[in-house]
């Protein structure tokens, strides 16, 4: 379960860095005439890529926390869960509504908000990688 957790977390961290640095900024170059179908396709296709690893990451994080063999592991697992709560909350409160608004047409202000607010998820997912790796390391050292 620890390896699944590390793989899912590392995958999502890499993906969100790509989205933050490359994909989201380039959305501004799509063009107004093509933007709505682009955003609709982006949203539909993104779900297929992110939902399975996000669910694997969440389920494994909960399992790791619930079965932690020591207080140190439990604290590390709790830190990871808190970062997941930040990620999921940011997605629900900031990014999903921004994508919903962009589905009606490109809006520069909404797009800039999407790019800026997505730093929350980017930082949180990148911060989760050493925690997930630490959980694997702690299991192998015990």
Q: Which domain covers residue 129, as residue numbers?
A: 2-141
For residues 61-66, average pLDDT: 96
Report the percentage of the chain scoring pLDDT > 90: 93
Mean local confidence (pLDDT), 22-33: 94
Mean of all residue pLDDT scores within the chain: 95
**Has residue 82 got a pLDDT over 90?**
yes
Region 44-61: mean pLDDT is: 96
Is the predicted pLDDT of residue 64 greater than 90, yes or no?
Answer: yes
pLDDT for the residue numbered 32: 87
For 114-126, b/e burial (b = at least 16 CB within 10 A) is bbebbebbbebbb
For 84, the enclosing helix (H) or strand (E) is helix 71-90
| Positive or negative torsion for Cα 91, 112, 115, 34 | positive
How many domains does the chain divide into?
1
Q: Which of 135, 13, 138 is nearest to 64 (CA)?
A: 135
């Amino acid at each position: 379960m620890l390896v699944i957790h590390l793989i899912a977390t590392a995958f999502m961290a890499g993906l969100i860095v790509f989205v933050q640095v490359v994909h989201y900024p380039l959305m501004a170059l799509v063009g107004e005439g093509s933007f709505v179908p682009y955003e609709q396709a982006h949203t539909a296709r993104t779900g297929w890529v992110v939902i399975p690893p996000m669910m694997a990451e969440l389920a494994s994080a909960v399992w790791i926390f619930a079965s932690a063999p020591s207080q140190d592991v439990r604290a590390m697992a709790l830190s990871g869960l808190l970062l997941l709560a930040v990620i999921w909350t940011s997605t629900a409160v900031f990014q999903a509504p921004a994508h919903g608004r962009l589905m009606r047409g490109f809006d520069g202000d909404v797009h800039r908000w999407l790019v800026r607010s997505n730093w929350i998820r980017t930082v949180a997912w990148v911060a989760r990688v050493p925690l997930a790796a630490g959980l694997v390391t702690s299991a192998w050292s015990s």
